[in-house]
Chain A
Amino acid sequence: DIQMTQSPSSLSASVGDRVTITCGASQSISRYLNWYQQKPGKAPKLLIYAASNLQSGVPARFSGSGSGTDFTLTISSLQPEDFATYYCQQSYTTPTFGGGTKVEI
C-alpha cells in the first residue's frame, strides 16, 4: 500500500492567516491526490481533486498543488468556518489517507 504522510499534525492559526498543509506519498502518484475537510461530527467534504482542481462550490481561497510525491493544500486567508481537520488521500491505487491536520484557533 502507498503510505501518505501529512504535516503538521496540528497547527494554530488566526483568521486571515495563510495556511499551508503538506502531504507526502511513499511513491510517485502523479497527480492522483485529493484533499478533504472534516468538521467535528460530520462526514468529510471533498475540497480538491487531482491535486489542484477545486471541487464545485468550494471557495477559491482553497488551492492545491504538487505532483509525484509532494503535495500542498493552501488556504489563502483563513476564515472562521475553515477551522477543521484536513486529510489528503491518494487515488493512484487502493485508496489511502494521510493522518490528518487539525487547524485550530
Chain B
Amino acid sequence: EVQLVESGGGLVQPGGSLKVSCAASGFTFSGSDMHWVRQASGKGLEWVGHIRSKANSYATAYAASVKGRFTISRDDSKNTAFLQMNSLKIEDTAVYFCIRYGSSGNYYAFDIWGQGTMVTVSS
C-alpha cells in the first residue's frame, strides 16, 4: 500500500525544538522529492519546505517564515523524511503534512499525502 505516516508531533514550549518523522512505503522513496506543508486550525495550506532526491543532490528549500529555524532531511535507507523544528513560535502551531511531489512528464503535484501530525507551540 502506498502511504506516508508522520509521527513525532506534540506540545512544545515557545523557543523549543521538535523533530517529526515521515515513514514512506509502497513507492520508490529514494527517487522522490519530499515536501512538508502545514495547516493552522481553520486556515489554508502553507508550503514549509522540501528536500529533493539524491539525483538532485538532496537540495533543500524553505519558506521565508521558517528559514533558519527548520531543517528537512532524509534517510533513504529507512525510507524516512524528517522535519527538525527549532526556535518554535506560537504561530508554528499547525498540522504538518509530509507529501510526495510526484511527476508526470514536466508537471509536478502533491500526489501522496500523509495523515498529518499536530504540532502545538504553547506555554
Contact = CB atoms under 8 A, between A and B. Distances in A.
Contacts of B61: 94
B104 interface: yes
Nearest to A9: B44
A89 B46 CA distance: 10
Interface in A74-105: 87, 89, 91, 94-100
**What's the dominant secondary structure at chain A's contact region?**
loop
Contacts, number: 55
A71 interface: no
Contacts of B97: 43-44
Contact of A49 (B35, B44, B109, B114): B109
A53 interface: yes
A23 to B, nearest CB: 13
B110 A44 contact: yes
Interface of A: 31-32, 34, 36, 43-46, 49-50, 53, 55, 87, 89, 91, 94-100
